[in-house]
Structure 1
Amino acid sequence: MRVVRVFVIALLVAGVANAQKQKLKVYISADMEGIGGVITDVQADPKGHEYEKFRRLMTEEVNAAIAGAYDAGATEVLVNDGHGDSQNIDLELLDKRTRLVRAYPGPLLMMDGIDPSFDAVVFVGYHAGE
C-alpha cells in the first residue's frame, strides 16, 4: 500500500514538475486515522497503549510521501501535522529535508501554512467521513 501511495504522489508531483522545470513546492497535510493499521480511535489517541506505535507509523508514511515528492523533483516540502493537537509526528524520525507545521488550532487547521506559492498538495492518512 505504501508503494502505491508513493507512486501516486510521484506521478502527481512529476506532472507539476514537468510543467514548471523550476522550483516545486509541495504541501503535505497528515492525519492519523487513515494511516495503515489504524482501525480504532484508541490507536490514534495519545492515551491509548498503542499510540506510540501508530505515531511512528504516521511519521514513516509521511516520510514516504516526502521521499516521493523529492524523487519527483520537489525543491521544498512543508508538512502539517493535522491530527488532534498536532503533536504526533516524531521530530526525531521526520525527514530532515522538510519543515513541519504544528499549529493547532491554527486558522486553517489541517491546512495551516499553505499559501498560493505551493504547486502540489498531498494528503496522507486522511480518513473517510463517519
Structure 2
Amino acid sequence: MTKNILTRALSAALLGLALTGPASADIKDYEFQLVRDDIKMGEAMVDVRLVDKRTGKPVPNAVIFAKRIDMAPDSMEDMVSKIEEVPSGEPGVYRFKTRLTMAGGWRLSLGAKVPGETGTVENRLVLKATK
C-alpha cells in the first residue's frame, strides 16, 4: 500500500513539472553590452548587443522603448543628444544614430522588453567619444 501511495505522489509531481514547463529566465539574466566603447565624435553609430548572460548568446527581437544619451560620466548630465534606433542587420545587435558633440564620456541608457519575459531590461553603458 505504501508503494502505491509513493508511486501516485511521484506521478503527480512529474505531471506538475510537465504542466509548468521549464523554468523561465529572470529579467536579470539579460544585459546590454557595447560592441565598441570608443567612438569618434560627430555623427555616430552606436551598436549595442543584448545578451542572455546564461548562454552568452545575442537576444533578437527585443523592443527598445527607452533610450537616452548624455554626458553624465563627465558631470554634464544636462548635455544630451538626440538618439534614434536604426536597423542593424545583425540579430541581437541594436544600432543607434546620434551626434556626439564633444569628446569625452557619454552614458547610453536603455530600456527594453524581451519577448517571452516579464519585466524590463535596463542598462546604463559608458562610451568614450574621441576626436
Give me the TM-score of the superposition, normalised by structure 2: 0.32
* Structure with larger RCO (C-alpha < 8 A, sep 6+): 1
Give me the TM-score of the superposition, normalised by structure 1: 0.32
Q: Which has the larger radius of gyration?
A: 2
